[in-house]
């Protein structure tokens, strides 16, 4: 059996690297880290202090999503410390989102789209 140590990274396709980096750094607070000199454009961002990463990749010809926020579509999730603060921050920055503070999952959820319509879930411990 494979022994897991944790999730290392998730990669997503983006069309405008600078716009996407700005979104993930400003809105979600991710930090850009060093990336090897691949022969294609991209960026690596660190999620918190866990060592987990988000890789942004330019891939010409890739099929991108065109729909809105669909909580059942492919997405990645970032665990956050404070649900209410995240909702307030997204509202302050005029980011469209769908919230589920009392989700049947057992944790509060926020779903939003990045500039390329990739779905992001933010989740936190259930509000009591």
Angle at 12 between CA 9 and CA 67, to 5 degrees: 135
pTM: 0.86
Task: Please report, for the chain, the start and end positions of each structural domain, with discontinuous segments joined by +.
Answer: 9-124
User: Which numeric CATH code is attached to 9-124?
Assistant: 3.10.180.10
pLDDT digit string, tens, across residues 43-82: 999 999 888 999 999 988 767 788 888 888 889 999 999 9
DSSP conformational letter for 61: T
Provide the pLDDT confidence category of residue 6 given band limits of 50, 70 and 90.
confident
Angle at 38 between CA 54 and CA 18, to 5 degrees: 55
Please choose, from the candidates 18, 10, 20, the residue with its C-alpha nearest in 3D space to the C-alpha of residue 53.
10
Burial of 88 (0-12, 13-18, 19+ CB in 10 A): exposed
Q: What is the mean pLDDT of residues 84-113?
A: 95
């Amino acid at each position: 059996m494979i022994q897991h140590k944790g999730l290392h990274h998730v990669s997503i396709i983006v069309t405008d690297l600078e716009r996407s980096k700005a979104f993930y750094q400003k809105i979600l607070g991710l930090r850009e880290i060093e990336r090897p000199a691949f022969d294609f454009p991209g960026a690596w961002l660190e999620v918190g202090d866990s060592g987990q990463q988000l890789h942004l990749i330019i891939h010409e010809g890739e099929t991108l999503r065109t729909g809105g926020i669909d909580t059942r579509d492919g997405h990645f999730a970032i665990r956050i410390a404070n649900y209410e603060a995240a909702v307030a921050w997204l509202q302050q920055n005029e980011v469209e989102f769908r919230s589920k503070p009392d989700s049947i999952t057992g944790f509060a959820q926020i779903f939003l789209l990045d500039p390329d319509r990739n779905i992001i879930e933010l989740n936190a411990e259930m509000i009591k």
